[in-house]
Amino acid sequence: MTDRTERVRAYVNGIFDRIENAEEKRAAYIHSYGVSHCCSLLAIKRGLDLELAAIIGLLHDVYSYKTGVITWHSQNGAEMVRVAFKNVLLTYSPKKNRQL
């Protein structure tokens, strides 16, 4: 696991740890880490970037967990994550020019 992946996990865990309801918090962890794992398996099968796939899966619903707002959560989440990447100095430089 890379430092970049660890920083994303710390970011996501920080959001999940603020969820007050224990069952909702548990569901957030199970769902997001499960999706991350599935994305990793798909990346392996298709020869894509495993780390990027795992990160994308982990972040896919983070906006709705942070805000409780489901409407437009994918668009708002993309913007929230873009800002978080910039602030955490998280950059992506692919090993190969591959498309998802």
Task: Identify the DSSP state of 92.
Answer: -
- In degrees and rounded to multiples of 5, residue 69 shows phi and psi of -95, 125
Cα 72 to Cα 98: distance, rounded to the nearest angstrom: 28
Give the CB-side neighbour count of residue 39, counting CA atoms within 13 A.
19
Overall number of domains in the chain: 1
- Tens digit of pLDDT for each residue in 29-73? 999 999 999 999 999 999 999 999 999 899 999 989 999 888 887
- Tens digit of pLDDT for each residue in 65-79? 999 888 887 888 888
Residue 94 lies inside a defined structural domain of this protein: no
pLDDT-based confidence at 95, cuts 50/70/90?
low
Contact criterion met (CB below 8 Å) for 55 and 5: yes
Residue 43 lies inside a defined structural domain of this protein: yes
pTM for the full predicted model: 0.79
Q: According to the model, what pLDDT value does residue 77 have?
A: 83
Residue 32 lies inside a defined structural domain of this protein: yes
Contact criterion met (CB below 8 Å) for 58 and 12: yes
Residue 98 lies inside a defined structural domain of this protein: no
Check whether 89 has a pLDDT greater than 80. no
Residue 61 lies inside a defined structural domain of this protein: yes
Q: Which domain holds residue 83?
A: 3-88
Query: In whole angstroms, what separates CA 75 from the centre of its chain?
Result: 14
Check whether 97 has a pLDDT greater than 50. no
Residue 93 lies inside a defined structural domain of this protein: no
Residue 100 lies inside a defined structural domain of this protein: no
Q: State mean pLDDT over 67-94.
A: 75
Q: State mean pLDDT over 14-32.
A: 96
Residue 38 lies inside a defined structural domain of this protein: yes
